[in-house]
């Protein structure tokens, strides 16, 4: 089954790269709970999200591949070096 994530409008439009990865409790069986935001987004502030299959997210940023199995509650920020730093 293809699980869905939510991405901000900038990422959906291809304008910005993914910088924040946050995992909430999934709202349903088809949802992953993941939200991916660009650098312009502030953590905790809800905006419009566009549903993307996780597979599309990983194609957009393969560096997330090893992280998407992370636990609910995870918050990660991509560093300038390209590594993901786990904040929670």
Could you list the residues that contact Zn ion (CB under 5 A)?
8, 10, 38, 40-41
Give min distance, CB of 20 to Zn ion, in A.
9
55 CA to centre of own chain? 12
8 vs 22 by CB, closer to Zn ion:
8
Task: Kindly provide the residue ranges of all beta strands, DSSP E only, lying in the chain, ordered along the sequence.
Answer: 4-8, 20-23, 31-37, 49-53, 75-78, 84-86
30 or 39: CB nearest Zn ion: 39
The DSSP call for residue 51 is E
Q: How far is the CB of 1 from Zn ion (least distance, A)?
A: 27
């Amino acid at each position: 089954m293809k699980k869905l994530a939510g991405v901000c409008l900038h990422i959906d439009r291809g304008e910005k790269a993914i910088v924040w990865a946050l995992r909430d409790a999934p709202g349903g069986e088809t949802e992953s709970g993941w939200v991916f935001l660009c650098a312009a987004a502030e953590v905790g502030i809800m905006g419009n999200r566009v549903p993307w299959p996780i597979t599309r997210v990983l194609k957009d940023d393969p560096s997330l591949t090893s992280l998407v199995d992370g636990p609910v509650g995870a918050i990660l920020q991509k560093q300038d070096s390209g590594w993901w730093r786990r904040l929670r």
